[in-house]
Copies of this chain bind each other. A is one copy, B any other.
Amino acid sequence: MIRIIIAEDQRLLRGAMASLLGLEDDIEVVGEAGDGEEALRMIEKLQPDICLMDIEMPKLSGLDAAEKLKAAGSACRVVILTTFARPGYFERGVKADIRGYLLKDEPVEKLAEAIRRVMQGHREVSPELVFGSMREENPLTPREQEILRLAAEGSSASEIAEKLHLSYGTVRNYISETLGKLAVKSRIEAVKLAEEKGWI
């Protein structure tokens, strides 16, 4: 019997998956979590074989949770299940030793199958990830990302400078660099693009 936990904030999807997987006779859904923290608590208590984990969840993202599990040396295998095929996410997941990265665009039938294969020691990845935009690496340095992130929240150059203890001019240089790298003409476009690609 494969014991799994489902961490997903959309109750509808979570419930639906739990019901369906529960119908499989080699799989048992032992717990459902609505956010990352709850998932961690549950994994520790119930020691499931696999945790099906969404990324964008309240309190603690699925990737954060996976990283904490790795750090704690948990035996629970994490399978990320998300809408977003963002290369940044995938890469981070790989570093956190996840065993699978599935997209919510996959047909349901594949889900149980993927879980079984992960139990056998395989790694499961949605094909879109393997080919696809995948190899679009993040061209931004950490600093540039940090600055663009603040700009995305609506901070002006001088506000960013203050928050980061940099000079006004330096911040503007970074933004200028960033615009060049992303080949766009304004912060707004840069923010859109970077958010879409998962670069910030």
Which of the segments A70-78, A135-143, A150-158 contacts the partner chain? A150-158
Interface residues on A, range: 20 to 34
List which A145-166 residues lie within 8 A (CB) of chain B. Answer: 151-154, 156
Total copies of this chain within the assembly: 2
**B108 and A19: CB pair below 8 A?**
yes
Contact flags (1/0) for A89-124 with B, using CB distance below 8 Å? 000000000000001111111010000000000000
Q: Quick check: which of A9-17, A41-49, A59-67, A167-175 contacts chain B, the rest being far away?
A: A9-17
A186 touches B (CB below 8 Å) = yes
Q: Is the CB of B20 within 8 A of A184?
A: no
Q: Which of A16, A109, A189 has the most CB of B within 10 A?
A: A16
Q: B10 contacts A105, CB within 8 Å?
A: yes
